Chain A
Amino acid sequence: MNQPELIVQLQQGDEQAFKKLLDEWQDMVYNTAIGIVQNEDDADDITQDVFIQVYQSVSSFKGESKFSTWLYRIVISKALDHVKRKKRKKRFAFVQSLFGNDGEEIVHPEEFNHPGVVMENKERAAELFKAMELLPDNQRIAFTLHKLEAQKHQDIAEIMNLSLTAVESLIARAKGNLRKTLTAYYIKNNF
């Protein structure tokens, strides 16, 4: 079954087509989400949210862009929403802690280890992920799609609705910012 056929069947509410869609795209959705939110459970929640939205709104997919582009856009939007919500919660928790937090402990997340990174690179990748958290959203998205999803610059441009030069510039700036953050980190920690 090719992709347009699959989409037509999905639009007709075919359960088998939905299963096939999951088999084909679930890892891509999960991997993109985990790259942005840097937490396995949150990435799993986002993956579920994404597929529920796909199931509910596939009828609105007109085929003007590639299906993968449409899917990437949904994942990115959900993941960024999640990050924003988490930041808001963190800020609120800080304010609460100023007034006393009723014995409730604020959990500080451990460093994030991407499950696909080889053992010898785990520590460096964790430092890189920490630095990625400080990037502006658009640089972070472009860098994540480029590094974790091995997307070509042209495809990233399509997903982010930007020109090719804009994406190249975003990735270059992201690398520059990461270099600065990592250098400062290594100097500070006497590596």
Chain B
Amino acid sequence: MNNNDHINKLTEAALSSLDNAERATAKPYLFTRLNARMQNANESNWDNALRFISKPAFAFVSLCLVVAINAMVIAYNYPDKTTTVTEEQYASVDEYSSSVTVLNDIENIEP
């Protein structure tokens, strides 16, 4: 019984050990440390960006992208001339009975 009382007393004493405890105070120069940390974070963002840009893989991908864009622009502005002949074009050929003669055709021996 005495032992139980003793343990109960210890428990209650532990439970109330934080009563009237003072507030723990923050370490000094918090503002300076925060400033330094925020500055470092900003700098490291730039460092990371520069490191990323200077990678050969980034340069290669950028080059491919530039070439691809150029190719697309050229293809868009100068479409292929040997492609489809429209029905309208066939019709005009029939109408004027025009035919293409090839001057250097060796089988065409008629004058």
Contacts and interface: CB of A to CB of B under 8 A. Distances in A.
Interface of A: 18-19, 22, 26-31, 34, 40, 43-44, 47-48, 51-52, 55, 114-118, 121, 124-125, 127-128, 131, 147-149, 175, 178-179, 182-183, 186-187, 191
B108 interface: no
A182 B31 contact: no
Which residue of B6, B18, B21 has the most chain A CB atoms within 10 A of its CB atom?
Answer: B18
Contact of A121 (B11, B17, B24, B38): B17
A51 B34 contact: yes
B30 A47 contact: yes
A115 B7 contact: no
Interface of B: 6-8, 10-11, 13-15, 17-27, 30-31, 33-34, 37-38
Nearest to B25: A27
Contacts of B18: 114, 117, 121, 125, 128, 147-148
Contact of B24 (A27, A128, A178): A27
A72 to B, nearest CB: 14
B23 A28 contact: yes
Contacts of A124: 10, 13-14, 17
Contacts of B8: 183
A34 B11 contact: no
Contact of A52 (B17, B26, B34): B34
Contacts of B11: 179, 182-183, 186
A32 to B, nearest CB: 9
16 contacts: A22-B31, A27-B26, A40-B27, A48-B30, A48-B34, A55-B38, A121-B18, A125-B17, A125-B21, A128-B14, A147-B21, A148-B18, A175-B15, A183-B11, A191-B6, A191-B7
Which residue of B23, B26, B38 has the most chain A CB atoms within 10 A of its CB atom?
Answer: B26
A26 B34 CA distance: 12
A159 B23 CA distance: 19
B101 to A, nearest CB: 80
Contacts of A43: 24
Contacts of B19: 147
Nearest to A18: B31
